[in-house]
C-alpha cells in the first residue's frame, strides 16, 4: 500500500474495516507477531493492505501464497521453527476451509497459529450471498480460541476509541490462546472478522506516520510466553514450572521414549536417569550415548521390552507399532510430558506432567548395560567403504587397478531406500534443517539411521502427507532468518510431493530459500507393501486404489515452477547433488525400485 498522500487520503473512502484491521495487526505486533502468511481475496483486503504497508515499514515479514492450504502449512513451518505464533490471513468461503489440514496438524502437535479469516457480515449469512458459508465455529474443538468478532461500524482514525479498544483486546486474547500463555497448551486460535463495505480505505494517520509509533522489534520477546515445543514448558513461568515438577524415583526399570517434537529434553532426562533412550528419527533427540539402536527389535524382546516397568514419553510417538504396544500396556507406568497438543493416554492411565526430575541415587547398571549391549548388536553401518588409500597409492598396476575398480563400484552403486536416507542424514548438520514427509522413507530412516544431533521437523500430529513442502518452506524461512546459514532438506515420497505440488510456486519479491526437495520416486504408494492389506487384497485392486501409480515427469515439473533439478541414480551422484553449489531451490529425484 505504501504511504498515502494527503490528497489521496482525502479521496479514499472512509473504511471502519481498515481502522479495525490496523488496530488488530498493530496490537499483535506489539505482542511479538513477526510473520504473516496471506492468500489474496476481496473480503480480506483491509487486512491485506494493512500488512502490505507494515511490510514496507519492516514491522513484519509478509509471505504471500496463492493457495490457502499452502499458506496454512507455510505458517505451520515458520511457527514450528521459530516457536512463535504466526498469523494467516484469508478471504471468506472455501478459503477458510482450506486452512483445516494445517490447523488440525497444529492442534494435535501444539503449534501456535493465528487464523484471521475475513467474512461477510451476519445479515449476509445463510441467505444465499456469494462466497459465504457459516464460518463461526467452523473449526470446532480444534482451536484454542474462537471468536466471531463484531463488525466494525465506525471510523476511529486515531485508534483510541471503544471499537479500537475492542479489537486490541481481541488481539491479546487470541495471542495468549495461540501461545499457550497461562495454559501451557499452545495451538491454533481463530478470529473470524466480518466486514461491511467499503472493504478498504486510507490507512489511519497513526499507522502511516512512522514517527508516531515505536514498532516492537521482531526479535524482542514481548509475548509473555512463546511456544516451547520440545524445548521447554509453553506458557508456564519458571516458578510455576518448578512447583509442577514431578520427581521420578530410580527404582522402576525405565525407558525414555522420544516421539515427534520431543527435542533435547528427552536425551537430557535419559542421561540424568541412566535410562535407555528410544528416539524416533523425527524426535530431535536421536543422539547421545544412551540412544538405543534397533529399538523395535529390543522392545519385542521379552527380556528387555517385556521387562519395562516405566516409560517417560516426550513428544508424539507414531512411527512404530512396538512403541504403541508398549504405551498401551496396563502393567507399565506411563508418564507423558505435556508439550501442548493432544495428550497421550493409550493405556487409559497415563499420567500427564509438566516437568520431571530424577531423584538422587545410583544408576541401575544391570538394566542399562543389558540395553546398551543389545543396542550395539543392532547397529547398522550404511556408510560407503573408505577408499583403499594404500592400494590407490601402490606402484603395482594390478593392486592399483583393483583399488580403482572398488572405488568406482562404490561410487556407481545404485541407490536404494537405505542408502538414500543415509546420504541425506550424513549431508545434514546442526546448522541445517531436515523435514521428513509421512512416506515410506521416514520409516526406513527410523529403522536404520544412527544417532546425530540434527534439527528435525515432521508433521506427525496427524501424520498426513499433505503440506510437506509448504511446511519445509516455512522452516527454511524461519531458520535462514535466525541463523543465516544452512540448508533445509525435505525427504519425501513421490505421492507426498504431488499432493503439495502447489507449494513449489516461487513468490516474486521474497527472499530466496536454500531448500532441497529430495524425492524417492518409486511410482506410487509402496508404503502399503508393509501393511496387512498387501497380503490379502487383490493385486489389481491394490494397484488401483492403494498404490495409485503416477507417471509425472519431475524434471518438467521442476522446470515449470522454476526450480533446479537433479536426477541421482548412484550414491556418488546423490552425494554431489546434496553438497555441491546449486540453485537455491532444487528438486532432487532419486528413482527407486518398486
CB neighbours of residue 455 within 10 Å: 20
Q: What is the CA radius of gyration of the chain?
A: 26
Q: Are residues 449 and 479 in the same domain?
A: yes
DSSP H or E stretch at residue 167:
helix 162-179
Record the cell numbers describing residue 407, joined without a space.
572405488
Q: Are residues 49 and 14 in the same domain?
A: yes
- Please check whether residue 384 lies inside any domain of the structure: no
Long-range contact set of residues 549-553: C-beta below 8 Å, sequence gap at least 24: 549/523, 549/524, 550/494, 550/495, 550/498, 550/523, 550/524, 551/523, 552/494, 552/498
Separation between Cα atoms, residue 397 and residue 384, nearest integer Å: 24
Q: Are residues 135 and 243 in the same domain?
A: no
- Please check whether residue 394 lies inside any domain of the structure: no
Separation between Cα atoms, residue 22 and residue 17, nearest integer Å: 9
Separation between Cα atoms, residue 586 and residue 519, nearest integer Å: 11
Q: Answer left, alpha or beta for residue 476, where phi above 0 means left and psi between -120 and 50 means alpha.
A: alpha
Q: Are residues 356 and 436 in the same domain?
A: no
Long-range contact set of residues 127-131: C-beta below 8 Å, sequence gap at least 24: 131/43, 131/91, 131/92, 131/93
Q: Are residues 214 and 181 in the same domain?
A: yes
- Residue 113 has phi, psi (to 5 degrees) of -130, 145
Whether the CA torsion 496, 500, 580, 521 is positive or negative: it is positive
| 234 secondary structure, DSSP code | T
Residue burial 140-149, b: 16+ Cβ < 10 Å; e: rest: eebbbbbbbb
Name the residue range of residue 442's domain.
Answer: 413-591
- Please check whether residue 389 lies inside any domain of the structure: no
Which residues in the chain come in under a pLDDT of 70? 1-12, 209-243, 385-386, 405, 407, 410-411, 530-531
Last residue of a domain, one of 361, 378, 395: 378
Q: Are residues 235 and 192 in the same domain?
A: no
Please tell me whether residue 176 adopts helix, strand or coil conformation: helix
Please tell me whether residue 40 adopts helix, strand or coil conformation: coil
- Please check whether residue 392 lies inside any domain of the structure: no
Record the cell numbers describing residue 431, joined without a space.
546448522
Record the cell numbers describing residue 264, joined without a space.
533435547
- Please check whether residue 153 lies inside any domain of the structure: yes
Partner residues linked to 87 by β-bridges: 36, 114
CATH code for the domain in which residue 304 is found: 3.40.50.1220
CB neighbour list of residue 592: distance below 8 Å, 6 or more residues apart:
415, 416, 417, 420, 520, 521, 522
Partner residues linked to 353 by β-bridges: 337
CB neighbours of residue 409 within 10 Å: 10
Q: What confidence score (pLDDT) does residue 207 get?
A: 85
DSSP H or E stretch at residue 63:
strand 61-64
Please tell me whether residue 191 adopts helix, strand or coil conformation: strand
What average pLDDT does the structure give for the chain?
A: 88
Long-range contact set of residues 567-570: C-beta below 8 Å, sequence gap at least 24: 567/591, 568/415, 569/414, 569/415, 570/411, 570/412, 570/413, 570/414, 570/415
Separation between Cα atoms, residue 576 and residue 468, nearest integer Å: 24
**Entry pTM:** 0.90
Separation between Cα atoms, residue 586 and residue 296, nearest integer Å: 34
Record the cell numbers describing residue 504, joined without a space.
513449489
Please tell me whether residue 535 adopts helix, strand or coil conformation: helix
Q: How far is CA 430 from CA 33, 374, 486, in A?
A: 26, 28, 8
- Please check whether residue 117 lies inside any domain of the structure: yes
Last residue of a domain, one of 207, 227, 247: 227
- Please check whether residue 314 lies inside any domain of the structure: yes
Q: Are residues 165 and 51 in the same domain?
A: yes
Last residue of a domain, one of 177, 212, 227: 227
Q: Are residues 201 and 336 in the same domain?
A: no
Q: Are residues 307 and 205 in the same domain?
A: no
CB neighbour list of residue 259: distance below 8 Å, 6 or more residues apart:
280, 282, 283, 313, 314, 315, 316, 317, 318, 319, 323, 460
Q: What confidence score (pLDDT) does residue 241 get?
A: 47
- Residue 271 has phi, psi (to 5 degrees) of -65, -45
Q: What confidence score (pLDDT) does residue 184 get?
A: 87
Q: Are residues 215 and 255 in the same domain?
A: no
- Please check whether residue 47 lies inside any domain of the structure: yes
Whether the CA torsion 483, 263, 225, 63 is positive or negative: it is positive
| 227 secondary structure, DSSP code | -
Q: Are residues 75 and 152 in the same domain?
A: yes
CATH code for the domain in which residue 530 is found: 3.40.50.970
Record the cell numbers describing residue 221, joined without a space.
520477546
Give me the number of domains the chain comprises.
Answer: 3
Residue burial 267-302, b: 16+ Cβ < 10 Å; e: rest: bebbeebbbbbbbbbbbbbbbbebbbbbbbbbbeee
Q: Are residues 450 and 514 in the same domain?
A: yes
Amino acid at each position: 500500500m505504501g504511504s498515502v498522500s494527503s490528497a489521496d487520503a482525502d479521496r479514499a473512502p472512509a473504511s471502519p474495516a481498515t481502522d479495525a484491521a490496523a488496530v488488530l495487526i498493530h496490537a499483535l505486533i506489539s505482542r511479538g507477531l513477526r510473520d504473516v502468511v496471506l492468500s489474496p481475496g476481496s473480503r480480506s483486503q483491509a487486512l491485506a493492505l494493512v500488512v502490505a504497508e507494515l511490510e514496507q515499514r519492516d514491522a513484519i515479514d509478509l509471505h504471500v501464497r496463492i493457495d490457502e492450504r499452502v499458506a496454512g502449512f507455510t505458517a505451520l513451518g515458520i511457527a514450528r521453527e521459530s516457536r512463535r505464533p504466526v498469523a494467516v490471513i484469508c478471504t471468506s468461503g472455501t478459503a477458510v476451509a482450506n486452512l483445516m489440514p494445517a490447523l488440525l496438524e497444529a492442534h494435535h502437535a501444539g503449534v501456535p497459529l493465528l487464523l484471521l479469516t475475513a467474512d461477510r457480515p451476519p445479515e449476509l449469512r445463510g441467505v444465499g450471498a456469494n462466497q459465504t458459508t457459516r464460518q463461526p465455529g467452523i473449526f470446532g474443538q480444534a482451536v484454542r480460541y474462537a471468536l466471531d468478532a463484531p463488525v466494525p461500524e465506525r471510523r476511529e482514525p486515531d485508534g483510541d476509541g471503544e471499537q479500537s479498544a475492542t479489537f486490541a483486546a481481541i488481539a491479546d486474547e487470541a495471542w495468549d490462546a495461540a501461545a499457550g500463555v497461562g495454559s501451557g497448551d499452545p495451538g491454533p486460535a481463530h478470529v473470524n472478522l466480518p466486514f461491511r463495505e467499503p472493504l478498504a480505505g486510507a490507512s489511519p494517520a497513526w499507522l502511516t506516520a512512522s514517527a508516531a509509533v515505536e514498532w516492537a522489534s521482531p526479535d524482542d520477546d514481548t509475548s509473555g510466553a512463546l511456544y516451547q515445543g520440545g524445548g521447554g514448558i509453553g506458557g508456564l513461568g519458571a516458578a510455576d514450572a518448578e512447583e509442577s515438577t514431578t520427581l521420578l524415583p530410580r527404582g522402576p526399570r525405565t525407558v525414555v521414549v522420544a516421539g515427534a517434537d520431543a527435542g533435547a529434553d528427552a536425551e537430557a532426562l535419559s542421561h540424568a536417569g541412566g535410562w535407555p533412550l528410544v528416539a524416533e528419527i523425527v524426535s530431535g533427540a536421536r543422539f547421545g550415548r544412551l540412544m538405543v539402536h534397533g529399538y523395535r527389535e529390543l522392545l519385542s524382546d521379552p527380556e528387555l521390552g517385556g521387562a519395562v516397568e516405566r516409560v517417560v514419553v516426550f513428544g508424539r510417538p507414531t512411527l512404530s507399532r512396538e512403541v504403541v504396544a508398549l504405551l498401551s500396556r496396563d502393567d507399565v507406568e506411563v508418564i507423558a510430558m505435556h508439550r501442548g497438543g493432544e495428550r497421550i493416554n493409550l493405556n487409559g492411565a497415563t499420567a500427564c506432567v509438566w516437568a520431571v526430575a530424577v531423584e538422587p541415587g545410583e544408576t541401575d547398571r544391570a538394566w542399562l548395560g543389558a540395553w546398551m549391549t543389545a543396542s550395539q548388536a543392532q547397529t547398522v553401518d550404511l556408510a560407503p567403504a573408505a577408499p583403499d588409500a594404500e592400494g590407490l597409492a601402490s606402484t603395482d598396476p594390478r593392486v592399483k587397478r583393483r583399488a580403482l575398480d572398488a572405488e568406482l563400484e562404490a561410487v556407481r552403486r545404485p541407490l536404494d531406500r537405505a542408502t538414500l536416507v543415509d546420504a541425506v542424514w550424513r549431508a545434514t548438520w546442526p546448522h541445517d534443517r531436515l523435514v521428513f514427509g509421512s512416506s515410506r522413507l521416514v520409516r526406513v530412516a527410523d529403522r536404520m539411521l544412527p544417532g546425530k544431533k540434527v534439527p528435525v521437523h515432521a508433521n506427525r500430529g496427524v501424520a498426513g502427507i499433505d503440506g510437506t513442502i509448504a511446511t519445509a518452506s516455512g522452516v527454511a524461512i524461519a531458520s535462514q532468518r535466525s541463523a543465516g546459514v544452512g540448508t533445509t532438506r525435505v525427504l519425501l515420497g513421490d505421492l507426498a510431493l504431488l499432493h503439495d505440488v502447489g507449494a513449489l510456486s516461487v513468490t516474486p519479491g521474497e527472499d530466496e530459500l536454500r531448500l532441497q526437495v529430495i524425492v524417492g520416486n518409486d511410482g506410487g504408494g509402496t508404503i502399503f507393501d508393509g501393511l496387512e492389506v498387501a497380503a490379502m487384497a487383490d493385486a489389481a485392486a491394490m494397484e488401483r486404489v492403494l498404490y495409485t501409480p503416477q507417471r509425472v515427469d519431475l524434471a518438467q515439473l521442476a522446470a515449470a515452477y522454476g526450480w533446479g533439478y537433479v536426477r541421482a541414480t548412484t550414491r556418488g551422484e546423490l552425494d554431489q547433488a546434496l553438497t555441491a553449489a546449486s540453485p537455491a531451490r532444487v528438486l532432487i529425484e532419486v528413482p527407486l525400485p518398486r
